Structure 1
Amino acid sequence: MTKQEALPLRCVLAALGCLALLSQTALLPRIAGEYAEAYPEVANLAAPYALAVIAATACFEVALLAAWQMLTSVVTDGALTPGASRWANVLAFSLGLTGITLAGICAHAGFVEAIGGPAMLLGLLAGLALVPAAVALRNRVLRAGSDSAGVPGVHRWT
């Protein structure tokens, strides 16, 4: 993969990182405060839920960093090197932790606090679906790294 081919991917990763950082630092605390004001009966949940969503966003940012590092490995070496398996593990773990955190928030809100309605069930299912998706992505990346044209552990991205 050339630098020109990787540029759009880097732009997407950078944009997602900037949006995640913006939402983590400015939007989420503000939205939590507004909802706590609008719904005083569940205002006690604003701080823990906001912290949990901020932590999930931080895990997503780590996953973006791992994707950036894997892309850098492919651009620099022209191949997915065996060292990229570490970043694939970081990516899968971070995405899995993001999914588990979001599923936990939705499960608590929907089943323990009885707020949120059907959206909490959908959020729970989406969060849980992120875990096997992250594992499948990791396996796909590692398989691509081990499949090569005669060179074990190197996959040419051409």
Structure 2
Amino acid sequence: MTPLQATDFIKPSVTNAPNPSSLPDLTISDVDNAPNPGVMLSRFNSRVCDIVVNGVEMCGAYYVSQRGFRRHLRTRHPGAITTVDQNGISPQETTAGIYALRRWVLSLGWRNARYSNEPGRGSLAIAEICDKLERIAAQDSDFAAQYGKHFHRRIPENTSSLKLRE
């Protein structure tokens, strides 16, 4: 696999990748009576819960497994998002998911997001994207001037509150 370059991030398929906003807290009856279908969770995702929980912060719970993440969404945020199983993920959906995560990190959405539960470095996919962008920024001053040099989250000194969930 060739190392990622700036051109892997600076292209329309990444910079224009859809990244749906979170829905407000919903009840099951809200969903049952919804005028439109809910947002569908991509099979390729960060496993960090981005559901807005108090109007200004997202949940931030991070899960090692998709199963645990989907269970969290069903039980803690019922109706906020339509979950899907991991079976049958297509190459197109994988590519779209990768592009959406790259955009989220490149636009500093990941670094600056407000979470009620600090997710730390997040999933391996997000950590690798941050690492690669920081490497590119260190080697390419034009890239660094446009997008910055730091893409990882600012992790608080007291990281004992970070919880890794199955």
More helix by share: 1
TM-score, shorter chain, exceeding 0.5: no
TM-score (norm 1): 0.31
Larger radius of gyration: 1
TM-score (norm 2): 0.29
Greater relative contact order: 1 or 2 (C-alpha under 8 angstroms, separation 6 or more)? 2
